[in-house]
Amino acid sequence: MLPSYRHTVRLALEGPVTSEITASALKLHPRVTVFLDEAAAEKLK
């Protein structure tokens, strides 16, 4: 997995909602579930 993908996942889930990372808008949905493999979740806090 590319390091930039891990960074994008982190920004989408832990950063602010922004049009630059459109997946970040998922945080606004009250019932969203995100499934990640270990590599994608590696940079998350």
Which residues, other chains included, contact 11 with Cβ-Cβ below 8 Å and sequence gap of 6+?
Answer: 21, 24
pLDDT at 30: 95
**SS3 state at 5:** helix
- Compute the chain's Rg from CA coordinates: 10
Q: Is the pLDDT of residue 26 over 60?
A: yes
pLDDT at 42: 87
pLDDT > 90 in the chain, percent:
76
pLDDT > 70 in the chain, percent:
93
